[in-house]
């Protein structure tokens, strides 16, 4: 089991930046991902990172703007979000999945979830 706690959300103007953090406790040998849910929409895959950090996979909508990284000593995953757009407004969830290093791009593939952090981008 792993427990996940997100932080770093907030309100930012379009074009601005935010960095989200996800602190993991318990068993931490998991690949991680970020998933977001906008109002009235289903949860959407954003980005994946393998346990080692050597493999990442981004949704097309964030490629080139968002960067995922992890620090396995601190058991923390980061999501650096630059050039934010109003359509990035959503609750962002950190998620974990065990197993191999095959990129997990489907929301249902993740086993453990944080409580979410709100990101609001104003135009």
- For the stretch 49-104, pLDDT in tens is 999 999 999 999 999 999 999 999 999 999 999 999 999 999 999 999 987 778 99
Burial letters 91-118, b for 16+ CB under 10 A, else e: bbbbbbbeeeeebbeebebbebbbebbe
pLDDT in tens, 2-45: 899 999 999 999 999 999 999 999 877 799 999 999 999 999 99
**Six-digit token string for 30:** 């998991």
- Contacts of residue 63, defined as CB under 8 A and 6 or more positions apart, other chains included, come to none
Distance CA 16, CA 25 (A): 30
Q: What's the confidence (pLDDT) of residue 27?
A: 74
């Amino acid at each position: 089991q792993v427990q996940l706690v997100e932080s770093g959300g907030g309100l930012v103007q379009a074009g601005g930046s935010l960095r989200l953090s996800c602190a993991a406790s318990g068993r931490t040998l998991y690949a991680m991902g970020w998933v977001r849910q906008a109002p009235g929409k289903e949860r959407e895959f954003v980005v994946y990172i393998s346990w080692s950090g050597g493999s990442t996979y981004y949704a097309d909508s964030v490629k080139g703007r968002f960067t995922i990284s992890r620090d396995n000593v601190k058991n923390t995953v980061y999501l650096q979000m630059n050039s934010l757009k109003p359509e990035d407004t959503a609750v962002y969830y950190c998620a974990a999945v065990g197993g191999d290093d095959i990129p997990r791009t489907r929301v249902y593939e993740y086993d453990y979830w944080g409580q979410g952090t709100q990101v609001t981008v104003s135009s």
